[in-house]
Amino acid sequence: MKSFRSNTTPIVALGAMSGTSLDGVDAAVLVTDGHTITDFGPTLYRRYTDVEQTLLSAALGKWSGPEVVAATQVIDRVHAEALAGFTDIDLIGFHGQTLAHAPRLQGTLQVGDGAALAQVLKTPVVWDFRSADVELGGEGAPLAPFFHHACARYINADEPIVFLNLGGVGNITWVDSAIENPETECALLAFDTGPANAPINDLVQARCNVPFDEDGKIASSGTVEMGALELFLSEPYFSRMPPKSLDRNDFSEIIKLVNELNDADATATLTAMCAAGVAQAMQHCPRPPSKVLVTGGGRKNPVLMKMLEVSLDCPVAAVETVGLDGDMLEAQAFAYLAVRVARGLPTSCASTTGVRAAVSGGTLSRPSV
């Protein structure tokens, strides 16, 4: 079987990501040597069924028990089905599904059996990306920043830029791509900004029976409740220095701040909270970025994007404006990280997760012959 460390030629890697929004599995092919992006390949999105979403939602915040077992079965089965259609793949990066994340307490839990997936797909799999970072004192998140650094070099960014990912939780990566290696001091700063789509999705699902606020239509007819916004920004998380990270449900109590508001006002206020968290986060950038490139589902919400444009002091645009795929960037990131793990390269460092030393997280499982 191929030895990934014996040469430095590009590897065809398939990354798979299931995010905290619980909408489905993203899968994407990336060709890379673990440093430079050579090419982007095919992609696939497999939406979870209502039953699958219910099983995954029931396990959120739990560390063990029957709900976790059921969620693991969903993740293993859906990923095996979704990834089976890809051919000529050298390596798979399998993130699994984060159910609980408390790096300073219990640790972090991503369910999904990478060793079993390697057997099913007859392809080496890198998985359990976060545990090693947490064990060395890191937050275990965010993990996409090393890939964001490669993307900044791919698009020839000649000034510092910020990648803003708006999934269930928001996170930013400040990148100086003039520095060759991502683990070098001053190349990166990354951390979670606060809640993003998760509370909005939860609210409109409960009140309006829709999975998300499509095109910001609900929020667009509402008015932001400034008192609730101010209370949100008084949360201790925003006064903590980065690196720092969040669990999907760490801000679940903010729903109570909008309980008395009508649907439109409540949705508008939660959307404003997402933007305000980002604005607070930008104050930590080592130098002002030349632009903010937005990835994740939040970039498709014009109300949220407008709020960001108003509150930030630099241009804000979707990553598609520079030729990247905002739907697949996270999946591509885990393809990239899988190659780095297979080659013994670091995947996180002090400025991205607070880990004591640059670490190559992840376990490589090969199928038995």
Class of domain 11-139+361-365 (CATH, top level): alpha beta
* Per-residue tokens: 94: 């399998």
**Between residues 22 and 126, the one the model is more confident about:** 126
Percent of the chain with pLDDT over 70: 99
Confidence grade of residue 106 (pLDDT, cut at 50, 70, 90): confident
pLDDT at 2 over 70: no
Given this model, what pLDDT does residue 328 score? 96
pLDDT per residue as tens digits for the range 117-135: 999 999 999 999 999 999 9
Please give the average per-residue pLDDT across 69-81, as a whole number: 98
Per DSSP, what are the bridge partners of residue 25? 18, 46
Check if the beta carbon of residue 48 is closer than 8 Å to that of residue 78: yes
What is d(CA 258, CA 202) in angstroms, rounded to the nearest whole number? 12
| Number of separate helices (H) and strands (E) present in the chain | 12, 12
pTM confidence score = 0.95
Which residues of the chain are in CATH 3.30.420.40 domains? 11-139+361-365, 156-322
Which sign, positive or negative, has the C-alpha torsion 136, 102, 200, 60? positive
* Per-residue tokens: 101: 């994340």
Which among 111, 148, 104 has a CA at the least distance from the CA of 128? 111
pLDDT at 233 over 80: yes
What is d(CA 302, CA 321) in angstroms, rounded to the nearest whole number? 15
Given this model, what pLDDT does residue 246 score? 85
Given this model, what pLDDT does residue 8 score? 83
Given this model, what pLDDT does residue 214 score? 96
**Count of other CB atoms within 10 angstroms of residue 287:** 10
Per DSSP, what are the bridge partners of residue 12? 31
pLDDT at 1 over 70: no
Residues 6+ apart with CB under 8 A from 115: 125, 127, 365
Check if the beta carbon of residue 80 is closer than 8 Å to that of residue 225: no
What is d(CA 44, CA 331) in angstroms, rounded to the nearest whole number? 10
What is d(CA 120, CA 117) in angstroms, rounded to the nearest whole number? 5
pLDDT per residue as tens digits for the range 289-348: 999 999 999 999 999 999 999 999 999 999 999 999 999 999 999 999 999 999 999 999
* Per-residue tokens: 279: 């604005």
Given this model, what pLDDT does residue 103 score? 87
Please give the average per-residue pLDDT across 230-236, as a whole number: 95
> Which segments within the chain are labelled E, that is strand?
11-18, 24-32, 37-47, 91-102, 107-111, 125-127, 161-166, 169-175, 188-195, 292-295, 316-318, 363-365
Given this model, what pLDDT does residue 231 score? 96
Q: How far is CA 132 from the centre of its chain?
A: 18
Of 72-86, 129-143, 239-253, 294-308, which range is least confident?
239-253
Class of domain 156-322 (CATH, top level): alpha beta
The per-residue pLDDT of the chain, averaged, comes to 95
